[in-house]
Amino acid sequence: VAREQVYGTWESSVQKLPRFMAFLQKLNPMTVVEWLNLDTDRPGVQILHYVFWAFRPCIEGLRCCRNVISVDGTYLYTKYKHKLLVAATLDANQQVLPLAFALVDEESLASWRCFLEMLAKHLLPYDDDRVCLISNRHGGLISSINYVPAFKFSRGVHRFCLRHVCSNFNKKFSNIRLKDLCWRAGAEVNARKFERIMTEIRDIERGSI
């Protein structure tokens, strides 16, 4: 009750979202907001499906960053159980620069495809734009890349987040040493050193040491 008195209800918060986004664009000129709503049987009434937004300074900031974009999704613990999709990169000071956001109903092929299409449209508008996309192994996300040319070879390449790879690796083997070796292998840029690490991983897996 106290929370509703201060912040309002979940329903009123969603109803205020269009006005909030419009105000956001007014105070941040050229900020991008795109909506995808679903029609209902009631005239003039729609249901929020997706909303995508990207601040103009962040869009322009990408030009000064390396051509690497990381994407991920997270839960929003509200009444409506939406998901928040986020795209980010690193600047020259190794600081995270958020690029774009989307509020979606769930992580699926459709929602990830929509998000990546909006990213390509507003952040990678030119055919000569090149980018490396980093993500986890969510099935919908992996499938959606096939529908967005900006993230497919030869314009783009897709790589998996090493932290997620090591986490999944550890879930299977439950071995801290193997997890550490997995990280070292993924981060190694020297082919010979990489092969030595992989040999050590195989030896441990076989139980030879």
Reported as a pLDDT band with limits 50, 70 and 90, residue 125 is: confident
Q: Look at residue 199 in the predicted model and tell me its pLDDT.
A: 95
80 pLDDT more than 60: yes
Q: Look at residue 77 in the predicted model and tell me its pLDDT.
A: 83
Angle (nearest 5°) at CA 185 between 132 and 93: 50
Which tokens hold the place of 35? 């909506």
Q: What are phi and psi of 148, to 5 degrees?
A: -120, 100
Distance between CA 126 and CA 73 in Å, rounded?
A: 26
Q: Look at residue 136 in the predicted model and tell me its pLDDT.
A: 94
Q: Look at residue 44 in the predicted model and tell me its pLDDT.
A: 80
Write down the mean pLDDT value for the chain. Answer: 91
Least confident among 5-9, 21-25, 63-67, 122-126:
5-9
Reported as a pLDDT band with limits 50, 70 and 90, residue 90 is: very high
